[in-house]
Structure 1
């Protein structure tokens, strides 16, 4: 009887530990995404260079391109991501990949003109050598406002 209780306790503690780790991992992705928006707003290209995977893809309303072009656009101010108001966020994990969905209102300056758009943003992070790297950032404009 004692061994059965010990076994059940071990299963419970293991499940609780796994659940806590999943919550921690989820929060890590949420925090990383929030920090990324701050780095983009502040044009912190050095920080973003470390975060963006060299083979990452970026999909915007005006086209799609790779990491080098995205960093150049941020650095030059071609797109200035001034502020991302995050209304909802969710994350799903598939192996070493995290897929984050953000419903945001983005205030940006594009070509010297300030614009505000509601987007669903998909961020894909891949764990590489125990660090998260952004593999994809895609903007989908939402119809009918926020």
Structure 2
């Protein structure tokens, strides 16, 4: 009888210990400082700010050392702000079909499959892109470190109405 009570006690100790460990793991995961949705939401806001040519807001978002890669060239923050402000490229609408985020420490890498409706040199164009956005968290705020447009071979899905 004592042996059975001892085994039952060990069993209960094991079960209780497992539940506690699982609860601690769940709590630790819940306190992760980064979330995919946070970055996706920031990216969606950024597309709207670009469409609305909100250069002051974008200047705050873009890191001082940020790099922007387009089909027509690559440049830094100051040039990107000038391009948006002048209307040389008007990011009119980004239709986002899918997004994925990966974190490396305080860096978030977001991939967006989009059709971009843009006005370039006065002509409206629609192109399918995989856009890579890199964000770095500094002093509790996300800053964009890079924005790269890679043209996709797939046809445009966007249907303008």
Q: TM-score, normalization: structure 2?
A: 0.84
For structure 2, the residue ranges without an aligned partner over 5 or more in a row are: 1-9, 157-161
Measured after TM superposition, the shift of residue 145 of structure 1 is 1.3
Q: Distance in 2 between matches of 1:125 and 1:119?
A: 19
Larger radius of gyration: 2
Q: Match for 1:64 among 59, 70, 74? A: 74
**Match of 2:148?**
138
Q: Deviations over 1:53-104 (max 9, x none)?
A: 0100000000000000001100111100000000011000011110000000
1:20 CA displacement = 3.7
> Quick one: distance in 2 between partners of 1:23 and 1:126?
13
Spell out the pairing of 1:1-146 with structure 2 (5 A cutoff): 4-21=14-31, 25-146=35-156
* More strand per residue: 1
Q: Distance in 1 between matches of 2:122 and 2:84?
A: 13
1:42 and 1:117 map into 2 onto residues whose CA distance is: 19
Shift, 1:16, TM fit: 2.1
Deviation at 1:3, TM superposition (A): 5.6
SS at 1:47's partner residue?
helix
Change (3 A) 1:131 1:34: same
Query: Which deviates further from its counterpart, 14-23 or 83-92?
Result: 14-23
Aligned length: 146
Tell me the C-alpha RMSD between the 2 structures. Answer: 1.8
The alpha-carbon deviation at position 12 of structure 1 amounts to 1.7
Distance across 2 between alignment mates of 1:13 and 1:40: 43
Q: Structure 1 stretches of 5 or more lacking a match?
A: none
Question: How far apart, in 2, do the equivalents of 1:138 and 1:61 lie?
Answer: 9
